């Protein structure tokens, strides 16, 4: 039974391959049309590459600018929290300085972000 199944599959494969060969013979092109199609393909590839190269630096610049602004905000917050905790530890008080310096750090981070956004806006326009 295994041999019969294998022979049947082999015959189907042969018939399918012969069918493919017949169809590809119908689709053959002459040399000039091949050259035209290759030229069209080359033009499309060059257009795609040029579009890709034009868009890439802008996209990376926007991503870098976004990360820069996030880092500025986080840095302000971390500095404020750490200064507040240090002063609370030195003075021995309740977390008054932590709260005050956390707010000051947040405000400083936001101010730095706004200044960076203005600078980016000026350079882009």
pLDDT tens digits, one per residue of 31-79: 667 788 888 888 888 888 777 666 566 666 777 888 888 999 999 999 9
**pLDDT of res. 107:** 95
Q: Report whether 98 contacts 64 (CB < 8 A).
A: no
Q: Read off the pLDDT band of 5 (50, 70, 90).
A: very low
Mean pLDDT score of the chain: 77
**pLDDT of res. 105:** 95
> How is residue 98 written in tokens?
């932590």
In 3-state terms, the chain is what percent helix, strand and coil (to 5)?
90, 0, 10
- pLDDT above 50 for 7: no
**DSSP states along 63-115:** HHHHHHHHHHHHHHHHHHHHHHHHHHHHHT--THHHHHHHHHHHHHHHHHHHH
Q: Collapsing DSSP states into helix, strand and coil, what is residue 28?
A: coil
């Amino acid at each position: 039974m295994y041999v019969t199944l294998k022979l049947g599959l082999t015959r189907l494969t042969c018939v399918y391959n012969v069918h493919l060969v017949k169809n590809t013979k119908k689709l053959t092109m002459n040399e000039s049309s091949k050259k035209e199609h290759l030229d069209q393909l080359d033009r499309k590839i060059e257009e795609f590459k040029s579009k890709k190269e034009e868009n890439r630096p802008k996209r990376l610049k926007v991503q870098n600018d976004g990360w820069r602004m996030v880092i500025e905000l986080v840095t302000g917050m971390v500095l404020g929290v750490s200064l507040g905790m240090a002063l609370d530890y030195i003075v021995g008080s309740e977390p008054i300085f932590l709260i005050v310096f956390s707010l000051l750090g947040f405000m400083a981070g936001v101010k730095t972000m706004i200044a960076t956004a203005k600078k980016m806006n000026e350079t882009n326009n």
